[in-house]
Amino acid sequence: MAGDFNSVTSMEEVNNSESFSLSRCSDFNSWLFREGLVDLGYTGAKFTWMRGVNTSTFRGARLDRALSNVQWKLTYPNTVVEHLPMLHSDHTPLIIITDSSGGASTRSCFRFNMAWVMHAGFLPLIHQYWKSDKSLEANKTSLAKVLIEWNKNTVGNIFHKKRRLLARIGGV
C-alpha cells in the first residue's frame, strides 16, 4: 500500500522538532508493527510534503510512503520507491518499480547487508580491499563494488534462499 499516511516514523523525517509529536510517531510505529508492515524505503527527495517559502516558514516531512508485508517484500526484493518532483500539489508523487532492472530510473545504490558480517569471508575481504593510503570515499566506492560481486558469487541472494527455505519448511 502507498499513500499519504500523515505521520512520520522518527524525528529524522521532519525538518524541525517543533512539528514532531513523539506520541503520534509512537502510535504510527505501533500500528506498522501490529499490522506486520515494512517501509519500502525510497530514493529522491527526503520530504514528500512541503510548505513555506523561506527558512522561517518552511515545513517539510516524509508523510507519503510505500509499505508492504514481509512476504510481498520477499516476492519483490528489487522494489524501488522513488519520490518524484513536486509539481501541482504540496505532496510529491511516488512511483513504485517492482523490478529495478527494467525501471525508468535504475540508479543503482549500494546497500550494506548486516547478514554479511556473519559470513566467515567478510572480515578477510574487508582487510584485503580497504587501503589505508586511500581516502574514505575512494575506499567506500571500491569496497562497494567488491562487496556487490562477493555477495553475488559467494553469499548469493539471501531473499531467494530464505524464500526457498520457508517453502521447504512449509512442505514439512
pLDDT of residue 58: 86
pLDDT over 60 at 39, yes or no: yes
pTM (whole model) above 0.75: no
pLDDT over 90 at 108, yes or no: no
Specify the 3-state DSSP secondary structure of 47: coil
Average pLDDT, the chain: 85
Average pLDDT over residues 163-172: 84
User: pLDDT, tens digit, for every residue of 59-74?
Assistant: 899 999 999 998 898 8
Concatenating the DSSP letter of every residue in 123-162 gives HHHHHHH--TTS-HHHHHHHHHHHHHHHIIIII--HHHHH
CA R_g for the chain = 20
pLDDT over 50 at 79, yes or no: yes
pLDDT over 70 at 20, yes or no: no
Please state, in angstroms and rounded to a whole number, the distance separating the CA atoms of residues 147 and 121: 11
